[in-house]
Every structure is written in C-alpha cells, then in structure tokens.
Amino acid sequence: MADKHFIHDDFLLSSDTARQLYHDYAAEMPIIDYHCHLPPEEIAEDKHWETITELWLGGDHYKWRAMRSNGINEKIVTGDAEDWEKFSAWANTMPKLLGNPLYHWNQLELARYFDVFELLSSETSKDIYDRCNSRLGSEGISSRSLIRESKVVAICTTDDPCDSLGHHEFLSNDNSIECKVLPAWRPDKAMMPENSEVFTGWVNQLSSVSNIDISTFDDFVDALSFRHQFFHDRGCRLSDHGIETFYAEEYTEREISLIFDKARGRVQLSSVEINKFKSHMLYLFGVMDAERNWVQQYHFGALRNNSSRLFDKLGPDIGCDSIGDWSVAEPMSKLFSRLDKEGKLAKTILYPINPRDNELVGAMVGNFQDGSVAGKMQFGSGWWFNDQMDGMIRQIESLSQLGLLSCFVGMLTDSRSFLSFTRHEYFRRILCNKLGKEIEGGILPNDVNLVGSIVKDICYNNAAEYFDFDI
C-alpha cells in the first residue's frame, strides 16, 4: 500500500465489495451534468488555455476563499499578479487543505487530466506547473476534449432569460460535438424588486429582447412567457431558482400589479410587499414549467455577499457566501400544495444548503409524489457547502431512510470549471464505498448485482429517464 499514489484505482474504496461496485458498475457510466455554470461560449469556441492558472484558478471562488484563509493577498487571489505567482500561492495552500474537499478534487483533477499523481505543494509546484502547461496551449487540452474525455453526454448551463442563446444555437447545429449542450432558465433577477435599480434595468432589457413594451405587470408576465417559450424552442427543459427561502404569502393580483409599478418607479418596498411579489413569481414560474413539462430546481438557503468590502470591490460570486438560516418548511409546503392541487406541479429537485434541512426535504418530497413519474420530487445532491464527503453521505442517508435512494437522479458539478467533471467520479466512489460497507455489514443484502443495478441507475440511468433530453 505504501508505494501507491494518493490518487489510485481504489481511492476512497475501503472494501472488496465497494471496489466491485465502483469498477464493475459505476466507473464507466456516462455523465449527464444537468446543472453547471460552464460558459457556453467556451464550448462553442472550443476554448484552449495557455496556463493551468487560467484554467484552474480563473473564476474559481472556492479556491479564492481558501487562499484568503491562508493569508494570501487579494492581489494574488483575484488581482493582476502573474500566472506563476498565483499558481505558486495555490500550491502553498494545498497542503493546508487536508480535510477540505478541495484537496481531493484538485488531486483528482491533476491525475485524471494531466497524469500528475504527485501531491501539489510548494516543493512540487514548478514541476507540476510546467507539466500541466505543456498539455495546454493552442494544440492541447480544450473545453471539448475535456467533455469528450469525461464521457459527458449532456450539459445544462445556467442562463438568464435575457440571454440570446446564440452559442447554444451554434452548438445545436454543430455536428462535430456529440455532447448535447442545453440552456437552463435562471430567472433570479425577475424576483428582485427590492433592488429597484437592478430590477428596472433588467425589466428594460427583458422588454428589448422580447420586443414587448412592458408597461404593466401583465406585460411583464407576457414577456417572461415569451422568453420561456424561446428557451424551450432551443432545447431548454430545466429551470433553476437561487432563492434565500421559499415564499408563499397571501396576495391579490391587484396588489402584485401595484408592487410591480412601485418597484419600477424606484419606490422603496416594505418587506411584506417584497415577499408577496416573490411568492407570486415563484408560483408563476412553477406554472410555466409545468405547462412545458420542464424540471424545476430550487437552490435555497444561501446567505450571499457577506463581505461588503469585497462585494464593493469585486461583485458577487467571489467566495464570500455562507449557509443561511431561514425557516422553509411551511412556505415550501404551501407553494407545492397549491401547484399540486391545481395540477401544475412540475418535476422538482430541491437543494438545501443548510444540512439542518436534510430530513425536512427528505420528508417533504414524499408529500407530493403523484405516481406519474418515479421520483417526481427529488432531494438533490449535496450542494455547495454540502458538496463534500460527509455532506454527500448525509444526503444519501436522509434520502434512503425517508424516500427512495434508488430513484435518485444523482450528481452534478455546479461548477464553472471544465475540470470539475471529476466530481462525478468523487460522488460515485463515495456512494459505492457506503453501499459496499453496508453490504458487508449486513445492512443491505449480499447481492452485488441488485445493488450494482441501483448504482448504475443513480450514476446515469435515472437522469437519462427523468430529463427530456432525447439523448
């Protein structure tokens, strides 16, 4: 064992049964990455990178957060320092990340895409930097080669309703790429009346791209519906909502119209008005998704942009977000109950960021299964701060004990990096290790074929059946 690299064939697999489950059932399954933040333009242009810094550190707020915690100056983290200086700082940080999922993720990425099995540290940094860079450049590793090498058959990006989707159209007509690259509808800005400047600017943009003069709330809804159909016509089959909590306040349509007018007039809204508006928008988006047979996703519970200092300097998505603490059960139930009663509840995936809510979600999804689709309501994979070994195990445990793990649609990357497809491997290894341990402990039947078939379903088959991607 001592002569093995840290990343080896049996990484994280602690039993013979776990190894059998992974190697015989999980490892070779294709990937459906149904939620990520990959830029579609970088897939369309088959982007190449000159340095590992550009590929690995550019835009990765997980790494930025870790580097700041290691006392590294912001000039090196997100500033104009040279690529080697940034990589060197990251290499210095890596050994201090033991116990953090970034350590596993990054060593996996180096091994799988660069054949680098040495541990990244200050001592190995220059050699690894040069070896990785030699694989890059204009003739080396590219966005499409990484997708192909990772056996990815479908990718869903994250797109604002005002996006042109021009790169998606290009990709849909490009026969040189076998992977489907599809948009996903992310209408968060439609639910931000509290920020009148951003909201008003976005409504004006929506008016322009839809060619609908938005004077009233009804016009606003018409424009959103037009764009929803526009996305559908270009292959979109998923929505995604990044919300602090669920909203299900009582309101009248008259109230919503007045609140919309006040927001556009830059009149300060009360918290009650804001919550009523968000409640109605969540309901409307749910109806739209159901009418076009989409899957709706809710990522909820993040407390964002905690550092006003760095937000003012760098903007959002820079590694300054945290786990929030909202009470979600009642409004979540009210929203889904209303949609369900009206026959307008779409297939739904829920991602809590607070692990406190795991059992809540595990129990909630069972309330609204209707027999139309296996696992219609899904408890999604561990998200963000739960996207690590213990978080994945907790999610699997809650789902299996309160619902049907066998119907789970599995992992996604939720990443801006083309190297992050290894997160699927990471999840699969953790899943197989857990199930293998339970077989050998007598908790599950000693039937590897039975459990292995469930593993294959979770890794790929369930997602292929659940999403309308026509793969």
* Residue 138, pLDDT score: 85
Residue 154 exposure: Cα atoms within 13 Å on the Cβ side: 24
pLDDT value at 212 more than 60:
yes
Q: Which residues pair with 180 in a beta bridge?
A: 154
pLDDT value at 1 more than 80:
no
The closest alpha carbon to 52, from 62, 44, 60, 41, belongs to 60
* Residue 4, pLDDT score: 78
pLDDT tens digit string along 230-252? 999 999 999 999 999 999 999 99
What is the Cα–Cα distance from 67 to 386, expressed in whole angstroms? 20
* Residue 74, pLDDT score: 96
Copy the structure tokens of residue 326.
Answer: 């909202």
pLDDT tens digit string along 354-409? 999 999 999 999 999 999 999 999 999 999 999 999 999 999 999 999 999 999 99
Domains of the chain (ranges; CATH) run 48-141 (1.10.2020.10), 145-466 (3.20.20.140)
pLDDT value at 2 more than 80:
no
Q: H helices of 119-233, where?
A: 125-134, 143-149, 166-172, 196-210, 217-233
pLDDT tens digit string along 184-193? 999 999 999 9
109, with CB counted inside 10 A (0-12, 13-18, 19+), is buried
Query: Would you call 199 helix, strand, or coil by DSSP?
Result: helix
pLDDT tens digit string along 56-105? 999 899 999 999 999 999 999 999 999 999 999 999 999 999 999 999 99
Cβ atoms of 433 and 203 within 8 Å: the answer is: no
DSSP for residue 457: I
* Residue 471, pLDDT score: 84
pLDDT tens digit string along 142-165? 999 999 999 999 999 999 999 999
pTM of the shown model: 0.97
* Residue 322, pLDDT score: 95
pLDDT tens digit string along 349-369? 999 999 999 999 999 999 999
Average pLDDT of the chain?
Answer: 97
pLDDT value at 3 more than 80:
no
Query: Would you call 223 helix, strand, or coil by DSSP?
Result: helix
